[in-house]
Structure 1
Amino acid sequence: MPKQNLQARGPVDGFLEGHAGLRIDGARLLDRLEELAKIGADPAGGITRLGLSAQENAAMAYLRDLCAEAGLATETDPAGNLLVHRPRTRREAAPVLLVGSHVDTVVQGGRLDGAYGVIAALEVLQVLHENDVDLPVEMVAVAFANEEGALIQTPFWGSRALCGSLEDGLAAEDRAGRPVSAYLAQAGGSPERLADAAWSPGAIAAYLELHIEQGPSLERLGVPIGVVDGIVGRTILDIDVVGEAQHAGTTPMADRRDAMVAAAEIILAVQRIATEDAVCATATTGYLEAHPNVTNTITGTVRLTVEVRDTDPAKLVRGEAAVRSECARVSAASGCAVEARASMRSRSVSTAPPLRDAVRGAADTLGLPHLTMPSGAGHDAQIVALVAPIGMIFVPSKRGISHAPGEDTAPADLVHGANVLLHSVLGAQTAAAERV
């Protein structure tokens, strides 16, 4: 991409006016998304690139190579996060504008969730570098490790480590009991220095994240840009149901303590909590593991997960309480022991009004209609909100599909979103400078 010979000088208004013509390289953005999608491509469909796995490591290596070619500097922190900045920028010197997302997926996930935000952040940083744009508050791009928590059972691993909120991090493990330390060293992290991944208070002036909507609203309304005003809170409960394994042919129905039947009742109750009872926005049973899992044996134990979400903290609390109440009811009725443990809680958060204004201003500069809306999915942004103001940008998702092979967004919308991110970085300078 040739230099556009734009200089950053003077008040913010003049700064923005002087850079109004700046654009990302759309073809480069789309090509890199396609290349990244090849890493972890699943023969069964979609992409399986689990956090801290060999596939995520390969994706991080691909990003490092892109940055080296672009003349950008990279580092991998002790938690496995990839940080990218311009060569002249010293991250430790001053608070920075942090921009990014994650590159890991769920099992058979889509090619854009998280990855789009990372590739777009690198594209924005490269355009700023190519055009010698002098930002009052420098930008650092980040690819957070293990946002999904699909392999190592600690969602938002990388952002929590960077923000100093990763408690008992080395206790994390996969479902087979393999510790995170075994994965972290292979990812270029340092288990023995995990605490050093936390940035000092005030080091982040602000954070911006570009993401696909993962829902149908923008596409249905024909609006290309979403200005996120809040992010849903989430509670994950790990539930163990313990009955008694017995012969399926010789044990009378009245004498059974069938863990599978008890688990099924819990699953149906979880559905009712968010539909008929409307206690919370959503409630989902997404994981189920039965033992001994044999056709002619009554199930002895079942492990499942229940996830409750809402933007209202009070409804989130009531949703969790309702699930626990149903577990107690099913236990009493079935004779099975039921234990529910909260393995993760993330609070709902609001985005910062000045950053929302920066996103709206960027969309207006580019002539793109926009809609203010909440996020029903969790994001690294809500973790960073613990330590800094945040802003988020959405682009449409085709048919609202995400976390599945059918996840997709029109190329034009992907380019629009990255250009809005670029101009949001420029427009956020006032809000970010107030934190410096």
Structure 2
Amino acid sequence: MTVLQGTRPRVNAGRLVEQVAGLGAIGAVPGGGVTRLAFTPGDVEGRAYVARLMEEAALAVRIDAAGNLIGHRPGAVPGAPALVLGSHIDTVPDGGAYDGAYGVLAGVEVARTLHEEGVRLNHPLAVVAFCDEEGAHGTMGMLGSHGFAGVLPPGAARVLDDRGIPVADLLAAVGGDAERLAEAAWSPRDIAAYLELHIEQGAVLERLGVPIGVVETITGRVNVSVTVDGVAGHAGTTPMEHRADALDGAARLVLAVRAIAADERVVLRATTGTCAVEPGMWNVVPGRVRLGVEFRDTSAGALEAALARLAEAAAEVAGATGTRVTVVPGARTSPVDCDADLRELIARASAEQGLPYHRLPSGAGHDAQIVARIAPVGMIFVPSRDGVSHAPGEYTAPEHLAWGADVLLTAVLMRDATPDIKR
């Protein structure tokens, strides 16, 4: 593909690719995956690596009370709101080297390019590596962006992770301070725009042969705990017609969950991700099964409809199997539309680079949907090979990494030249 050579600066593609590999080596595991969970020694080492890169980009580096690593560059106009670039560097267990990390490193590369080219923006520039996006060890996930937006739930620092460690202690391990969490919050008037560059984590762009995605909506999701209570009994002596088999009921519910998306089209995605059988013996009819269900969609109404349909299915299964089914909705994240002006700005930035683009929703959640509570947000996607993410096979080609960062840089320059709207 031929990329037009304009007068705007370009990122150092080789340096960016090298730094993505360098961060990916921290927490690398056999088989090509990366395990760098938030708050672990690997996370601390990765944060130190990124902090050094921020300093090399002439950014002033700090860690806020919510554990976010922030590099700051002043602007030329006193009192102007900041342009914020960000993502996360923590991974899931045996994840990939690109999810989140690419967006942070591309933001740092944008800052370094501006510094090396002697370009001073009107707006301050902030690059943020948000803390604990993935929800390590059962924490809430997107903890840092919640703190950044000032929307952390009351008592969040007192919550224990699944190892029994308070979030306050986890934050302290990465330089945060649970006693000052309110100080991490940014005001809407402090942010002109938030831009997040990310791998797609799906296969749409690759299948279309398009290098840039302009994200229109970030999918919302709701987690649901489903418990099926039957009657445990001896597998050899309990007649089939007399059983209240909890796993029988659970199996029917797993299929019902899939059908809510695949057949009934109530939501875009429906997944049963966990299944715990009690007592868990091969010679005992299961007495209880716990399922973890998740629904995702770009419509809050569709998510509510999926919950209602699941409740109906639960009642049907309970009646058919002689079990009792309890459905308890849990954590949820609302769908978020990316800012219309920033969507058009990203499209124009892509066109200026001579890069085709495609408008699409994000099936995954991102820090951007939390930041959207206080600022206009825009997201840029680049292709993921075979749509693989959260796995060792996660990969994005070097040219796509470079082109995405160039679009981010161009978008920053375009937004910097746009008058601010008072919010």
CA displacement at 1:385 relative to structure 2: 1.2
**Equivalent residue in structure 2 for 1:427, among 414, 418, 423:** 414
Q: Specify the code of the residue in structure 1 equivalent to 2:276.
A: E
**Equivalent residue in structure 2 for 1:330, among 317, 320, 337:** 317
CA RMSD of aligned residues (A): 2.4
1:361–1:427 Cα contact (<8 Å) kept: no
Deviations 1:206-236 (A, max 9, x none): 1000011111111111111111121112111
5+ residue gaps, structure 2, are 1-5
Deviations 1:372-429 (A, max 9, x none): 2222222111111111111111111111111222111111111100111111111112
3-state DSSP of counterpart to 1:116: helix
Q: Which residue number in structure 1 is paired with residue 96 of structure 2?
A: 110
2:57–2:111 Cα contact (<8 Å) kept: no
1:42-61 superposed matches below 5 A? 42-43=29-30, 45-61=32-48
Q: Which residue number in structure 1 is paired with residue 63 of structure 2?
A: 76
Q: Distance in 2 between matches of 1:21 and 1:258?
A: 66
- 1:26 to 2:13 alignment: yes
3-state DSSP of counterpart to 2:345: helix
1:180-219 superposed matches below 5 A? 180-219=167-206
Q: Distance in 2 between matches of 1:238 and 1:406?
A: 30
3-state DSSP of counterpart to 2:189: coil
Q: TM-score, normalised by structure 1?
A: 0.89
Q: Distance in 2 between matches of 1:195 and 1:242?
A: 42
1:282-293 superposed matches below 5 A? 282-293=269-280
5+ residue gaps, structure 1, are 1-18
Q: Specify the code of the residue in structure 2 equivalent to 1:139.
A: L
**Equivalent residue in structure 2 for 1:130, among 100, 116, 122:** 116
Q: Distance in 2 between matches of 1:302 and 1:193?
A: 41
1:361-400 superposed matches below 5 A? 361-400=348-387
Q: Distance in 1 between matches of 2:245 and 2:45?
A: 44
- 1:154 to 2:140 alignment: yes
Q: TM-score, normalised by structure 2?
A: 0.91
The answer to which of 104-113 and 249-258 deviates more is 249-258
Q: Specify the code of the residue in structure 1 equivalent to 2:317.
A: V
Q: Specify the code of the residue in structure 1 equivalent to 2:295.
A: V
1:146–1:152 Cα contact (<8 Å) kept: no
Question: Residues 250 and 107 (structure 1 numbering): CA distance in 2 closer, same or farther, change over 3 Å?
Answer: farther
2:75–2:121 Cα contact (<8 Å) kept: no
Q: Specify the code of the residue in structure 2 equivalent to 1:212.
A: I
**Equivalent residue in structure 2 for 1:167, among 131, 140, 153:** 153
Q: Distance in 2 between matches of 1:325 and 1:432?
A: 52
3-state DSSP of counterpart to 1:433: coil
Q: Which residue number in structure 1 is paired with residue 22 of structure 2?
A: 35
Q: Which residue number in structure 1 is paired with residue 268 of structure 2?
A: 281
Size of the alignment, in residue pairs? Answer: 417
Deviations 1:79-121 (A, max 9, x none): 11111112x469x955211111111222222211111111101
**Equivalent residue in structure 2 for 1:139, among 112, 116, 125:** 125
Q: Which residue number in structure 1 is paired with residue 395 of structure 2?
A: 408
Moved over 6 A (4+): none
Q: Which residue number in structure 2 is paired with residue 119 of structure 1?
A: 105
- What fraction of aligned residue pairs are identical, expressed as a percent? 47
3-state DSSP of counterpart to 2:348: helix
3-state DSSP of counterpart to 1:290: strand
Question: Residues 177 and 263 (structure 1 numbering): CA distance in 2 closer, same or farther, change over 3 Å?
Answer: farther
2:75–2:123 Cα contact (<8 Å) kept: no
Q: Distance in 1 between matches of 2:178 and 2:43?
A: 17
Q: Specify the code of the residue in structure 1 equivalent to 2:50.
A: L
2:213–2:360 Cα contact (<8 Å) kept: yes
The answer to which of 42-51 and 60-69 deviates more is 42-51
